[in-house]
Amino acid sequence: MSQTKTELLQGNLYINGEWVSEEEQTYFESINPATQELVGTCAAATASQVDAAVNAASTAYSHWKNTSIPERAAFLTKAASLFEDKKEELAQVMTKEMGKPLTESIGEVGVVIATAQYMAGEGRRLFGEIVPAGFPDRDIKMVREPLGVVACITPWNFPVSLASYKMFAALIAGNTVVWKPASEVALSAKIFMEILHAAGLPKGTINLLTGSGRIVGQRLATHSEVKVISFTGSTEVGQQLAEMSSKTLKRISLELGGKNAVIVLKDADLDKAAEGIVKSAFTTTGQRCTAASRVIVDRSVKEELLKKVIALTEEMKVGNGLEQGVVIGPLVNEQQCRLVEDYVQKAVEEGGNIALGGRALSEIGACYYMPTIIDNVHSNHTIAQEEIFGPVLAFIEVNGYEEAMRVNNGTMYGLSTSIYTSSLHYASRAAKDAVSGLVYINNGTSNAEMGVAFGGMKMSGNGHREVSHHAFDVMTEWKSVYTNY
């Protein structure tokens, strides 16, 4: 299908309240993984443009931190209503850039709206503490203070909601922001920023830098004026950022990869378990940090569960996310598709049996892979240990709860664990025994509600949490004030 030039989008950098580009600006392409068509081009920020954005945010900070909380909240409330108006337009670009079905993209913009409303309300609850003094005629209070410039670095799988978690918490607390989105979704970021601009954001309060993670990300991580790094992405890049930012003693919040499991005990409702498994494993084409990539199932019910999971998976339509009825889109790019192929091949070499799928769908496009289920996987196989980020599910058989939980906890990650059981005893034990930031009982692995802390343990994060008011443990610091009267 040919495309006219006018349909193409172009993204520039947003610095100090203006869309900017240099004469010699380099642009990179955003490609639709469903069709391989060009969605548009986006500016690749240089190191000096990173400095300009940080300077703008730093200057804006002196005003924004003294802006009253109701005024900051009013901006978020206005943004929420504009996101509502532009929901479909933004969602279309998200689906074109990273492939997920339009219904999922629309749902994600809904999360942005809910986050803006939630954080607008949380501003009024940035409570401090009154501490009993050890001496007469003295008051002591502790107050939360913003830190300054917060750099938000985000991945492509949730192009806008993860950015909203970080940026809206940072802003309501009085910080200013420099945002570096993933290159695959740079144009979705541009539309997102246009909406924030229209909401009347004071200049410099938020700045958008698209471009290479290595150039922009590294500069942000080493810049002395950046006080916080809030990163969501791979464990490998998170580790690099932690190392780079240590020289300037930045606070760093890391939300990283996962190797999430659904445990199914023999007393589980297998229909409900199959439903939860399929949804968690294959929506967003398995490209979620909380995607279920392991089913740890009691040997006595394995065959029955496997049949049910296969039957439900076969009903899922694979195709272009803009088409009605499609529930599994393409992978984000060809490289990711090849990576999935390699993992499946390795799984077979190590003794796994392909129970469903197991091949690329090159007849419909370069980035499509069949939803794949691999049986006979052992907990030490590569496919049971490493994050794949694709539509691949491994079945691991166990004997009873103890072995199931041992296998569940036997990876370097600790993001999300689900258990299906009708036993109160095992459900309650799982809530305690799972070494993961999220535990779901009789629900799949992917479900985040507003106001509930989100984050992982072990190599899935560094202990910080987003979404709820606990985000302020990252976005503020405590000041203790002694008053003698």
Active site positions, annotated: 255, 289
Which region, judged by CB under 6 A, interacts with ligand NAP, from 208-216, 262-270, 320-328, 355-363?
A: 208-216
Given 182, 326, 347, 438, the residue binding ligand NAP (CB under 6 A): 182
Q: Which of these ranges, 178-186, 367-375, 397-405, 475-483, lies near ligand NAP under the rule CB under 6 A?
A: 178-186
- In the complex, the smallest distance separating the C-beta of residue 467 from ligand NAP, rounded to whole angstroms, is 10
Question: d(Cα 105, Cα 98) in Å, to the nearest integer?
Answer: 10
Four-residue CA torsion sign, 410, 415, 418, 424:
positive
Residue (of 127, 151, 124, 126) closest to 50 by Cα position: 151
Site membership for ligand NAP, residue 179 (CB under 6 A): no
Q: For residue 54, what is the enclosing H or E element?
A: helix 47-64
- By beta-carbon proximity to ligand NAP, the closer residue of 49 and 421 is 49
Q: Is 37 helix (H, G, I), strand (E, B) or coil?
A: coil
Is there a contact between 255 and 232 (Cβ–Cβ < 8 Å)?
Answer: yes
Q: Which of 233, 286, 365, 390 binds ligand NAP (CB under 6 A)?
A: 233
237 part of the interface to ligand NAP, by CB under 6 A: yes
As a whole number of angstroms, the distance between CA 401 and CA 398 comes to: 8
DSSP H or E stretch at residue 165: helix 161-172
* Contact (CB, 8 A) for 265 and 305: no
Report helix, strand or coil for 388: coil
Nearest distance from C-beta of residue 119 to ligand NAP, angstroms: 17
Residue pair 414/459 in contact by the 8 Å Cβ criterion: yes
What is the closest distance, in whole angstroms, from the C-beta atom of residue 167 to ligand NAP in the complex?
14
Give whichever of 233 and 276 is closer to ligand NAP, judged by the CB atom. 233
Nearer to ligand NAP, 282 or 401 (CB): 282
Q: Looking only at residues 120 through 159 of this chain, which bind ligand NAP when binding is defined by CB under 6 A? A: 153-158
Distances, alpha carbon 173 to alpha carbons 114, 196, 225, 323, in Å: 17, 17, 18, 40
Interaction of residue 160 with ligand NAP, rule CB under 6 A: no
CB of 199 to ligand NAP, least distance (A): 23
At its nearest, how many Å lie between ligand NAP and the CB of residue 454? 7
- Does the protein bind ligand NAP through residue 383 (CB under 6 A)? no
Under a CB-based contact definition with an 8 Å cutoff, are residues 429 and 275 in contact? no
**Does the footprint of ligand NAP cover residue 180 (CB under 6 A)?**
yes
Interacting residue with ligand NAP among 25, 240, 385, 442 (CB under 6 A): 240
Whether the CB-CB separation of 369 and 287 falls below 8 Å is answered with no
Q: By CB under 6 A, tell whether 234 contacts ligand NAP.
A: yes
* Residues of the chain by 3-state class (helix, strand, coil), percent to 5: 40, 25, 35
**Smallest distance, ligand NAP to C-beta of residue 68, A:** 31
**Residue 379 interacting with ligand NAP (CB under 6 A):** no
Check residue 321 for interaction with ligand NAP (CB under 6 A): no
Distances (CA, A) of 472 to 149, 172, 304, 478: 14, 10, 46, 10
The verdict on 104 binding ligand NAP (CB under 6 A) reads: no
397 lines the binding site for ligand NAP (CB under 6 A)? no
471 vs 128: CA distance, rounded Å: 15
Residues that bind ligand NAP (CB under 6 A): 153-158, 162, 180-183, 212-214, 217-218, 232-234, 237, 240-241, 255-258, 289, 387, 389, 415, 456, 460
